[in-house]
Amino acid sequence: MYDIETLYEATSVADACRALAADPTAEVIAGGTDVLVKLREGKGAPAHLVSIHELHDELDGVTLAEDGTVEIGPITWFHHVTTSPVIQATVPTLGDACDTPGGPQLRVSGTIGGNVCTAATSGDSASTLFAYGALLDVASVRGTRTIPIEEWYAGPGRSHKERDELLVKIRIPRSHYEGFTGYYFKYGKRNALEITTMGCCCLVKLAADKSTIEDIRLAFGVAGPTPMRALAAEDAVRGLPVAEAAEKIGELAAGCTNPRDSWRASREFRLQLIKEMSKRSLIYAARRGGADI
């Protein structure tokens, strides 16, 4: 069923990096919810796999650094991201997004790092991590480096992480979330076991009057070949009253995005989704911040 030629179980991050460097065909497997599906379809076979499934001490869990940075291990299950007290207290919208992939079984086997490394524009965590401006730390035998999420995606299903590099941490600095409230909106034909037709995350920071938008971040998945932010739309509504911004944001966001036709939805339908989801997400995010709208 699965054409696996070799499976190496790494004992540490350094060991995994050495194994990836030693075999030019090796790839990482953690939860396996993406890799094994690909192999079952005959893609990438025969596989040479380096398992990081047991590296809990180095790669699992959510912590809060002294400077307020949220640090997420890449092999943390979606469910553990959602239920983490750190996530709930700091970046709860990411927790909401991680409660939407697949069904309950997938959310206790699939990992947030796998979702990022698959680099699919439909990844349920993608638009929210984009909105929060996540920083992605990768390691290899050459050392470590940080890739801002805005520079991570190279195209559909491709990232700028090198094949022999391992994602070792996802970081969200305090300045990227403090004062923001948010909402993640996933549209699909059903509520579970569904690939995202359109994903939208809106983060809003309200002014002291609770009726004006001081700052906003609006990010999408499936609105283009990679996750993206609607930067021009954000710029256009900063400083506006929430009600006025909500009326304008949809058309502005549609002008920033470039969805495609697919068997799941037409381009025209996706543009309609972008318009409506932008408006609703902004309103819901602002309400969570105390706006009366």
For the stretch 2-25, pLDDT in tens is 889 999 999 999 999 999 999 999
CA-nearest of 253, 248, 250, 229 to 237 is 248
Provide the H-helix boundaries in the chain. 13-22, 35-40, 56-59, 78-83, 85-90, 92-97, 104-107, 112-118, 126-131, 174-177, 231-237, 242-256, 267-288
Question: pLDDT tens-digit profile of 109-134?
Answer: 999 999 999 999 999 999 999 999 99
How many angstroms separate the CA atoms of 112 and 118, rounded?
Answer: 10
The C-alpha angle 27, 31, 33, rounded to 5 degrees, equals 90
Please, what CATH class does the domain formed by 179-288 belong to? alpha beta
Which CATH code fits 60-175? Answer: 3.30.465.10
Q: Residue type at 186?
A: K
* Every domain of the chain and the residues it spans: 4-51, 60-175, 179-288
CA-nearest of 267, 282, 290, 273 to 233 is 282
Determine the straight-line distance between the first and last CA of the chain, rounded to whole angstroms: 54
Please, what CATH class does the domain formed by 4-51 belong to? alpha beta
Question: pLDDT tens-digit profile of 65-110?
Answer: 999 999 999 999 999 999 999 999 999 999 999 999 999 999 999 9
Can you give the C-alpha Rg of the chain in angstroms?
Answer: 19
CB-CB neighbours of 257 under 10 Å: 21
pLDDT at 44: 78
pLDDT at 30: 96
Q: Residue type at 213?
A: I
Question: pLDDT tens-digit profile of 250-285?
Answer: 999 999 999 999 988 999 999 999 999 999 999 999
Question: pLDDT tens-digit profile of 44-54?
Answer: 778 999 999 99
How many angstroms separate the CA atoms of 132 and 109, rounded?
Answer: 24
For 129-144, b/e burial (b = at least 16 CB within 10 A) is: bbbbbbbbbbbbeeee
For 74, residues 6+ apart whose C-beta sits below 8 A from its C-beta are 30, 59, 111, 112, 113, 114, 116, 117, 167, 168, 169, 170
pTM: 0.95
CB-CB neighbours of 128 under 10 Å: 31
How many angstroms separate the CA atoms of 168 and 139, rounded?
Answer: 7
Omega before residue 156 within 30° of 0, cis = no
How many angstroms separate the CA atoms of 39 and 180, rounded?
Answer: 40
pLDDT at 38: 85
